[in-house]
Amino acid sequence: MKEKKEFDFERALTRLEEIVEKIGEGGLTLDEAMKLYEEGAGLIKLARKRLGEVKGKLEVLKVELESSEEELSEEKVSEDVKKYVSDLDDGEIDVEEEEDSDADEENSDEEGKDVEGLF
């Protein structure tokens, strides 16, 4: 049974460089040049195919990495924050009331400081 050789991308690039150099030098018969050209075209086709495979794998890895980063960031969120967001989503917390309440607290703190400075 014939074994399938794995495509060696780097070796193919090296061979392509050799082919380009030989054809560029000239001095080849038409048949020799055509044979080298066909070999080069085949190597380019295989190289493009391999690059497409690698690109596809990289895209899959990127998606996996992004989803794992999202999972990690979700795990780090404290329970208090999760509850707050959940209550906010459920409408149990009125954002406007809370902002008004926070502003009132800040104003009362500042008013107390002004009074303290007088005595």
Model's pTM, two decimal places? 0.52
Q: Spell out the residues 6+ positions from residue 47 whose beta carbon is closer than 8 angstroms to its own.
A: 9, 12, 13, 16
pLDDT in tens, 40-74: 999 999 999 999 999 999 998 988 888 876 666 66
Residue that is written with structure tokens 């070999």 in the block: 39
Question: d(Cα 23, Cα 35) in Å, to the nearest integer?
Answer: 10
How many separate domains does the chain show?
2
Do 56 and 89 share a domain, yes or no?
Answer: no
Residue 110, sorted as left (phi over 0), alpha (psi -120 to 50) or beta, turns out to be: alpha
What is the residue range of 48's domain?
Answer: 1-76
CATH, residue 33:
1.10.287
pLDDT in tens, 12-34: 999 999 999 999 999 999 999 99
| C-beta neighbour count of 9 within 10 angstroms | 14
In degrees rounded to 5, what are phi and psi of residue 4?
-85, 120
What's the one-letter identity of residue 106?
E
